[in-house]
Amino acid sequence: MLAVCSWPPQSVYNKMDAGEKSPLEVLLTCPVCRDIFTDPRQLPCGHSICMVCLNSLVQHSTEIPFRCPDCRCYFGKIVEVQKSYALASIVEDYRESKKAKAKQTQSVGCDCCPERNQPAVKTCLKCEVSLCKEHVRDHVELPAFTCHPLVSPLADLPDRKCPRHDDEVLRYYCSASRRYVCNVCDLETKRMNLATEASGVLARRLTDYMDQRFQLLEGKMNESKDSIKKLQDDVTNEKQKVKPQDSSLNSVTVVVLCLWFIVLYYACNFAVENQMLTDKVSMQQRRLHEIYSNIAEFLVEPERDSGDVVQEALEVPLTLDVDTASPFLRVSDDLQSAERVLGELDYPSLASRFEAPQVLSSQCFSSGTHLWLVEAHGHWEISVSYKSIRRKGEDDSAFGVNPQSWSLVRNHVGQLSAYHRKTSTNLSRTLKSNSIAVKVHFEKGTIAFSEMGANSFLTKLYEFQTELTEPVCLGLGLHSVYPPSRASIIRAIKS
């Protein structure tokens, strides 16, 4: 998850230089010498201690009874201890892994230094470069790099490239194929799954239709056989009663010819129906192709300007920031949904928290084109807002009443309106679905609200034209209690 936040540069450098202990290292630390366990021994109370530290404590506890340094439990004059083999094995593995990691970190050089003789302290996963202490300063201090994740130096960074897409990094683990994939591979897999599912549904429907037609045809053929048998029996009875006459065209020949005509009729009818089925299959395939094209245009929407290169769209994470949520909004555990409640929730009192029933997204963006899909119910407000918007006072902090936010509002009777700088514009359209698409083009300064209908078609509702000077976030406002208003983030796409 990429979040825009204000980092104190000096404290970050102090933390990097101090080398804080990891949670595992804290668990493997002796409570006496404050170092990794050496020959750990387990006390009767369950806590562990180094053998050297235990001997030292016992020698200095001739007058004062020996107690556990962790829980202060007294064991008597004789202390029974035993070696903790599992803990000793874990400590040994941790020492080896720490040495290997330190050796690997020392072998990673700074990619920005001309001679690459400076050891790297961090690796940027977005820039895909390793940086020394001097060159990582820009990533920590400048706001332009706030969305760049920094990790410990990685020596195998070239091996993390996707073999199919050279410009992408392996980010996700696919449980089906048991391998790591990039964003483009994940998007292609989703499209293939959609196509496979739609093809399966179409095949089942065509199979059921063909079975019904064949059953009908089989019933007609059985009726024809019964009629033929009955005619043959009638002819036999007539022959027994009347002496047959020599004729080039007797009654049996006439019956056989009629039966042949019946068979030819049903055969022609079946051929016509088969041709109609073939035409319907072709029509369904064309329709399916149009649906896939609309889905592809919705998921990947390139921006074409004169002289610009078309960039492919990628799905990015977008979650709600609980620290900005009003006490009257309940945010889900996955940080994707919010719901209006009647009473105030027990949230910590923070300066970043709204008094009005509103919440901002954790991620804010300062460049590119972004498409956010939101599903909302009830009396709601979907907004694009600067993160610097005021949080206290309903007159200044509400979405749409200030210069820092642009909103689309649906009231309790279903009427739509657009708000900005306390100016309301009523919209004549009424929503046919609950899916709203918000498109922000940072360079052009456009903020468009659209309705997503059937087959993923977007119908534009309103568009703001402005100059965006700060990073923008997605904002949700939920106003009705009965029934409770709620909204969910469905997808976020960046191009």
Q: Class assignment of domain 31-104?
A: alpha beta
Q: What angle do CA 311, 139, 466 make, to 5 degrees?
A: 50
- Whether residue 447 is predicted with pLDDT greater than 50 in this model: the reply is yes
The per-residue pLDDT for 210 is: 84
- Whether residue 19 is predicted with pLDDT greater than 80 in this model: the reply is no
Helix (H, G, I), strand (E, B) or coil at 187: helix
The per-residue pLDDT for 329 is: 95
CA distances from 86 to 36, 41, 81, 92, 94 (A): 15, 11, 15, 10, 12
The per-residue pLDDT for 155 is: 72
| Averaged pLDDT score across all residues of the chain | 80
Eight-state DSSP code of residue 454: G
- Whether residue 288 is predicted with pLDDT greater than 70 in this model: the reply is no
d(CA 275, CA 31) in angstroms, rounded, equals 84
Average pLDDT over residues 183-211: 83
d(CA 238, CA 409) in angstroms, rounded, equals 88
The per-residue pLDDT for 363 is: 92
The per-residue pLDDT for 153 is: 81
The per-residue pLDDT for 217 is: 82
Angle in degrees, 0-180, between the axes of helices 183-241 and 251-299, rounded to the nearest 10: 170
d(CA 49, CA 55) in angstroms, rounded, equals 10
54-76 b/e with 16+ CB inside 10 Å = b?
Answer: beebeeeeeeeebbbbeeeeeee
- Residue 134: Cβ within 10 Å count: 12
231-257 pLDDT tens trace:
778 777 766 665 544 444 566 677 777
Among candidate residues 169, 193, 186, the one with its CA nearest the CA of residue 493: 186
Comparing 31-104 with 314-494, is the CATH topology the same? no
119-168 pLDDT tens trace:
888 888 788 888 888 888 888 888 888 888 888 887 766 667 777 776 67
Average pLDDT over residues 290-311: 45
The per-residue pLDDT for 63 is: 62
Q: Give residue 297's pLDDT band: very low, low, confident or very high (50, 70, 90).
A: low
Domain boundary assignment for the chain: 31-104, 205-242+249-299, 314-494
346-393 pLDDT tens trace:
999 999 999 999 999 999 999 889 999 999 999 999 999 999 999 987
| Sign (positive or negative) of CA dihedral 129, 132, 135, 139 | positive
Yes or no: domain 314-494 corresponds to CATH 2.60.120.920: yes
pTM over 0.85, yes/no: no
- Whether residue 300 is predicted with pLDDT greater than 50 in this model: the reply is no
The per-residue pLDDT for 18 is: 41
Average pLDDT over residues 201-226: 83
Among candidate residues 364, 404, 362, 405, the one with its CA nearest the CA of residue 382: 405
The per-residue pLDDT for 335 is: 93
Contact between 41 and 15 (Cβ < 8 Å): no
Q: Lowest mean pLDDT: which of 143-147, 311-315, 335-339?
A: 311-315
Strand order in the sheet with 472-478: 358-365, 472-478, 380-386, 405-410, 416-420, 423-427
